[in-house]
Amino acid sequence: MRVQIFILSVVSLWDLAQNFRAEATFNNHEHSANMENLLPSVARPSNRSYTFYGIMFDAGSTGTRIHVYTFIQKDPAELPVLDNEMYHAVKPGLSAYADKPNVGGDTIRQLLKLARKTVPRSEWKKTPVVLKATAGLRLLPAEKAKALLDEVKEVFNESPFLVPNNSVSLMNGKNEGVLAWVTVNFLTGHLYSNTKRTVGILDLGGGSTQITFLPKSKKTITSAPPTYIARMNMFNGTYELYTHSYLGNGLVAARLATLGALGADGLDWKVFTSSCLPKKFREDWTFGGLTYKVSGIPDGYAGYKLCYYEVMRVVKGIVHQPFEVKGSSIFYAFSYYYDRAVESGLIDGNRGGVVEVRDFKKRAKEVCNKMTKYRPISPFLCMDMTYITCLLKEGFGFKDSTVLQLAKKVNNVETSWALGATFDYFRNLNIH
């Protein structure tokens, strides 16, 4: 389904061309020779239909994803439409190559081959390619993260695409939440009207988790820490959003925290145990380039209650509870919220679904009390489902009856910050 792009309505096509021209002036020499050819076809006034493209890489903690968006401008007097998204993901994420940045760079090269197949050759020099890294790299030592990003820059500079200034960067968590909110509310059509009736978003990655919504109550804003409020100029108006990213509270980082392994030393000989794991489970487990020895408790107890107590320490007192989430707002939840709901049988993987917070709790109890049954799916499923339940209830403070729309895609487009970030590239959204 083609979705009309409201974002670009706030800027004339001439302004869009100027934006591309400004970006192009900062490119390296091999990409900046002919300035007129760097303008998107859409910016040239004509009665013909034009197509232009954007390539956005999401370098997450557990995988790297490429999004190639196809936009069509049928008439200079009308709005462009989002025609298509080509999406592909590879595992593990860049952070797994912390000591081998050149190997991490090779994963980007492979994904760029897909981009060359998607974008016509005649459009390569006009199509911007951008990579934003998230919590996986934010959790690495700064020098290792920089080495990986520098390697990606070299790979981009080898490519035939338009490489903007600051094309490779470490994304801050606030923008991650805000741009995911833009994506979902754009795809669901909530940003077309002036009523500001929008949906909140919950994004659960491997290294961090985000919550973003448009408050209805002034008390939500006044009672929140000042850094949790973001203002964004968009669509001839200003949106004042509640948003925060919790680094270290993504699903996989939370496993480490639950096990007491986050930041631990002596990984060669220490065994990290949890009642959230099957009693007879023992395995080496790798995340972020480090390997951990993890185990159930062979002679101890396992199950939902003990597991909930363990994960509570990772959430309680760390996650701020916004004033109005106990209300009736609808939230879209995606990434690991969606994946674990599918794996545990809570929703259908083909269609997504609507659940209440209490449904996560009920299914978490079932998974934890029948760990042997669910172990082939994942030995961590009890821990993950319990963590999600605890994060929603004890962390954010949602009621059992809060409605969550679990979705991987909306209108056949991935629910992530990537589309919002592409809009931000074409037209700075002034997030502050």
Q: Which residues of 391-425 are buried (b: 16+ CB within 10 A; e: fewer)?
A: bbbbbbbbeeebebbbbbebeebbbbbbbbbbbbb
Return the closest-CA partner of residue 111 out of 153, 147, 67: 67
Hey, is 90 helix, strand or coil? strand
Looking up tokens 């009308």 gives: 78
| Alpha-helix runs per DSSP H in 159-229 | 173-187, 218-222
Rg (CA), the chain: 22
Is 206 annotated to bind a ligand? Reply is yes
210 labeled binding residue: yes
Query: Which residue in this structure is represented by tokens 């897909």?
Result: 114
Q: What are phi and psi of 188, to 5 degrees?
A: -90, 0
Strand residues in 95-138 grouped as ranges (E)? 129-133
* Residue 303 marked in a binding site: no
For residue 375, give both structure tokens.
């172990």
Nearest CA to 406 out of 261, 204, 251, 222 is that of 204
Q: Check if 176 is active-site.
A: yes
The span from the CA of 411 to the CA of 188, in Å, is 8
Quick check: helix, strand or coil at residue 137? helix
Closest alpha carbon to 152 in 140, 138, 170: 170
Q: How far is CA 340 from the centre of its chain?
A: 16
Distance CA 289, CA 286 (A): 6
54 and 71 in contact (C-beta within 8 Å)?
yes
Query: Does 207 appear as a known binding residue?
Result: yes
Tell me the CA distances in angstroms from 235 to 23, 182, 192, 213, 239, one per residue in order. Answer: 22, 11, 9, 17, 9
Is 209 within any annotated ligand binding site? yes
Q: Is the peptide bond between 92 and the residue preceding it cis, with omega within 30 degrees of 0?
A: yes
Apex 414 CA angle, 135 and 230, nearest 5: 55
Here the tokens at position 185 are: 């509310």
User: Of 23, 85, 176, 324, which residue is the catalytic one?
Assistant: 176
- Here the tokens at position 380 are 């961590």
Kindly list the catalytic residues.
176
Residues comprising the binding site for ATP? Answer: 206-210
Residues comprising the binding site? Answer: 206-210
